[in-house]
């Protein structure tokens, strides 16, 4: 998760009367940031990274050709020869899933037991026989402030739809869509080029 409820409240100064809305907005803002920047913030292997002793793959990339997604239990189960824990997947971490038909996305890990990941989010029932990739993601600490600014803006600002800028005495603001230009500028630092 990009930030917790407590972190957003601390950074914004919003009180407990906004808890429900902040909690609902955190994953929405997280997805907005990922979509806007084109950056999944996946941990990338660096030179000298530890390699899994059996598969020879980097520890933050788990791939398997037999994966079962269970909606009722919110579990992702790999074939028995893959141990997610050895790939550094752990409770409290965020992961991306790619290569599935109906479950590609970002999930927060509730628990891990050998070849089973339990997530907090909903899954669709699905069994895959092609390669599914699980990668650990880590959001930079500086994104917490940007996420907090977006949430506060969305909660407290009047609608700025169609408004490019406004000025009152010494105060002025410019908008890009519904966000102030300063937030867009901060997000632009994390943009990645997409090749289609």
pLDDT at 159: 47
Closest listed residue to residue 34, CA positions, set 178, 137, 134: 137
d(CA 10, CA 17): 14
CATH architecture, domain defined by 61-137? Beta Barrel (2.40)
- Which of 2-11, 165-174, 177-186 has the lowest average pLDDT? 165-174
The answer to whether residues 103 and 64 touch, using CB atoms and an 8 Å cutoff, is: no
What's the whole-number mean pLDDT along residues 179-190? 92
Q: What is the pLDDT of residues 88-140, one digit of tens each?
A: 788 888 888 888 999 998 899 999 988 899 999 999 999 987 778 888 888 99
Q: What percent of the chain has pLDDT over 70?
A: 76
Determine the 3-state secondary structure of 154 from DSSP.
helix
CA distance 101 to 99: 7
194 pLDDT exceeds 60?
A: yes
Q: At residue 153, does pLDDT exceed 70?
A: yes
Whether residue 149 is predicted with pLDDT greater than 80 in this model: the reply is yes
Residue matched to tokens 């409290």: 92
Q: What are the C-alpha distances in Å from 115 to residues 50, 89, 94, 105, 168?
A: 20, 10, 17, 19, 58
pLDDT value of residue 166: 56
Residues of the chain with CATH 2.40.30: 61-137
Residue 7, pLDDT > 60, answer: yes
Tokens of residue 163, six digits = 């408004």
The reported pLDDT for the residue numbered 17 is: 94
């Amino acid at each position: 998760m990009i930030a917790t409820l407590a972190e957003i409240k601390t950074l914004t100064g919003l009180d407990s009367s906004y808890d429900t809305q902040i909690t609902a907005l955190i994953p929405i803002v997280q997805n907005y940031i990922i979509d806007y920047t084109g950056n999944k913030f996946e941990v990338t292997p660096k030179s000298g990274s530890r390699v899994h002793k059996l598969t020879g793959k980097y520890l933050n990339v788990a791939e398997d050709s037999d994966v079962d997604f269970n909606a009722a239990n919110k579990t992702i189960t790999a074939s028995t020869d893959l141990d997610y824990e050895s790939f550094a997947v752990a409770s409290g971490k965020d992961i991306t899933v790619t290569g599935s038909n109906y479950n590609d996305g970002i999930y927060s890990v509730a628990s891990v037991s050998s070849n089973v990941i339990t997530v907090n989010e909903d899954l669709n029932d699905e069994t895959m026989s092609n390669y599914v990739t699980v990668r650990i993601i880590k959001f930079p600490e500086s994104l917490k402030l940007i996420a907090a600014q977006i949430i506060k803006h969305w909660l407290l600002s009047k609608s700025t739809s169609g408004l490019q800028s406004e000025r009152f005495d010494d105060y002025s603001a410019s908008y890009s869509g519904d966000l102030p230009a300063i937030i867009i500028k901060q997000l632009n630092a994390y943009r990645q080029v997409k090749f289609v």
